[in-house]
Amino acid sequence: MQILALGFMGVILAGGVLLSLPFCNRQPITFSDALFTSTTAVCVTGLVTVTPAVQFTLAGQIILLILIQIGGLGIIACAVGFLLLLRRQITVKERIVIQETYNMEAPGGMVAMILRVIKGTLAVETAGAVLYAFRFIPEFGVLRGIWYAVFHAVSAFCNAGIDILGDTSFQKYVGDPIINITTVLLIIVSGIGFSVWQDLISNGRRIRRREIPNKWWFTRLRLHSKLAIVTTLILLIGGTVCIFLMERNNPATLGNLSTGEKWMAAFFHSTSTRTAGFATVSQSGLYTQSKFLSCILMFIGGSPGGTAGGVKTTTVAMVVLTCLSVFRGGEQVECFGRRLSGKNIRMGFAVIMTAVTVLFAGTIAITVFEPQVPFIDILYEAFSAVGTVGLTADLTPTLSSASHMVLIVMMYIGRIGPISLALLFGGMSKPKERARELPEQRIMVG
């Protein structure tokens, strides 16, 4: 975990230096802006202080794309892929690092798993680029259209939300089914997590070999996959319906669209808040209640093991199930015929409480630095940074340098995860073994 956290930090600093070089920029850029852009790329967030389409040359945009890809795949996966490309064997020590990074129980099959992730990522990004090309090539010409298709396919799959079209994201494509459907599919495919797709593919093969009946496919999935899929569907559908109902008459967002376009824009926003950061409607024009709902969706994010940020769907699902179990007087937490481990539950609450603490600290700091900005917009910015989303109420470029530094720290913590941050500063100390259990004593709660 410490290697992961320090690795991201090193790539961010290197990216900041590269993006500050003259050949990467069409106009002068401060190092703080270059560092912020590098952070938002590596942390696959999408908040920007400069407009990438205007600021960066082709070389700068290529470096930006590489940083996004590294951030999406992860430092360890990229390093393993590079070593294998050089035909160098992975050492035992390196395998242990991989095992700790991906929280795997056994070191066997790790390299093969990472190779599948890399190959799957490149395959899906290529498919996304082909679909985007149907829109961008007729609009921008062959060469620029292909470049735009590749860049936005990688950015969407990695949940980065960075575009090179201008300063309004995908707003001019609000009614375009190709852009909307392609982007949403890339976000969902990567946000559900690589382990879920591996589970789905494995069960699909068993069904084709007729080892299990079609109707049993869901019951054969691992508990993690079931929780991730069900929670994702609930958030996507629930978020879409709520955004549609709250924004359907808002002239600044959905009000002037047709009914079909309203539903499509609502679904896009519900999906994008779960850590992609692309926007087809004005974020500053959203009603306050919609911004608050979006903050909740940004906080939850996607599923573990993918490119998404947030505290993760399975974490929130586990905490909700724990609360329901307590309310019912249950002694254990059950889900899909399985019992959740106490260690998992404690870790889930620790993740959420740490994320909430970072959010409170960051929000208070920005409020101090920007007293003139509406609180809901600061809150929206803070949730977007910690959730590595990238949506903003047109606020990021107008903030002070101090606020930008706060956002850099929040994006970094959001990408590596609060637990990794604690391990970075606290070390990997093991709990002391006790010869006897301590006596139990209850306290008053609530």
Rg (CA), the chain: 22
Number of domains the chain contains:
1
pLDDT at 108: 60
Residue 381 lies in a domain: no
- Stretch 132-146: mean pLDDT, rounded? 97
Which pLDDT score is estimated for 97?
A: 61
Instruction: Quote the CA–CA distance of 75 and 86 in Å, as a whole number.
Output: 17
pLDDT at position 207 is 76
Residue 159: is its pLDDT beyond 80?
A: yes
Q: What pLDDT is recorded for position 83?
A: 67
Least confidently predicted of 26-30, 109-113, 265-269, 381-385: 109-113
Mean of pLDDT over the chain: 88
Measure the CA–CA gap between 262 and 427, rounded to whole angstroms.
Answer: 49
The answer to whether position 401 is within a domain reads no
Residue 353 in domain: no
Structure tokens belonging to residue 4: 């992961």
- pLDDT at position 165: 95
144/355 Cα distance (integer angstroms): 40
Q: Which two tokens stand for residue 80?
A: 């393993």
- Percent pLDDT > 90 in the chain is 63
Q: Is residue 280 part of a domain?
A: yes
Q: What is the pLDDT of residue 443?
A: 85
**Across 206-220, 230-244, 258-272, 339-353, least confident range:** 206-220
Q: Say whether pLDDT at 100 is over 90.
A: no
Please indicate whether residue 203 or residue 354 has the higher confidence score (pLDDT): 354
pLDDT band at 202 (very low <50, low <70, confident <90, very high): confident
User: pLDDT higher for 241 or 216?
Assistant: 241
pLDDT digits (tens, 9 = 90+) for 291-306: 999 999 999 999 988 8
Specify the pLDDT at position 373.
Answer: 95
pLDDT of residue 135: 97
- Section 358-369 average pLDDT: 96
Tell me if 372 is assigned to some domain. no
Query: Residue 335 falls within a domain, yes or no?
Result: no
Domain that holds residue 232: 1-299
Asked whether residue 431 is domain-assigned, the answer is no
Average pLDDT of 85-108? Answer: 62
* Lowest-pLDDT choice from 27-41, 64-78, 108-122, 344-358: 108-122
- Could you tell me what percent of the chain has a pLDDT over 70? 87
Across 63-78, average pLDDT:
86
371-387: average pLDDT? 96
List, in order, residues 6 or more apart from 136 with CB less than 8 Å away.
144, 145, 146, 148, 149, 152
Does residue 27 have a pLDDT over 90? Answer: yes
Q: What is the 3-state secondary structure (H, E, C) of the chain?
A: CHHHHHHHHHHHHHHHHHHCCHHHECCCCCHHHHHHHHHHHHCCCCCCCCCHHHHECHHHHHHHHHHHHHHHHCHHHHHHHHHHHCCCCCCHHHHHHHHHHCCCCCCCCHHHHHHHHHHHHHHHHHHHHHHHHHHHHHHHCHHHHHHHHHHHHHHHHCCCCCCCCCCCCCHHHCCCHHHHHHHHHHHHHHHCCHHHHHHHHHHHHHHHCCCCCHHHCCCCCCHHHHHHHHHHHHHHHHHHHHHHHHHCCCCCCCCCCCHHHHHHHHHHHHHHCCCCCCCCCCCCCCCHHHHHHHHHHHHHCCCCCCCCCCCCHHHHHHHHHHHHHHHCCCCCCEECCEECCHHHHHHHHHHHHHHHHHHHHHHHHHHHHCCCCCHHHHHHHHHHHHCCCCCCCCCHHHCCHHHHHHHHHHHHHHHHCHHHHHHHHHCCCCCCCCCCCCCCCCCCCC
Residue 368 falls inside a structural domain = no
Going by pLDDT thresholds of 50, 70 and 90, the confidence category of residue 435 is: low
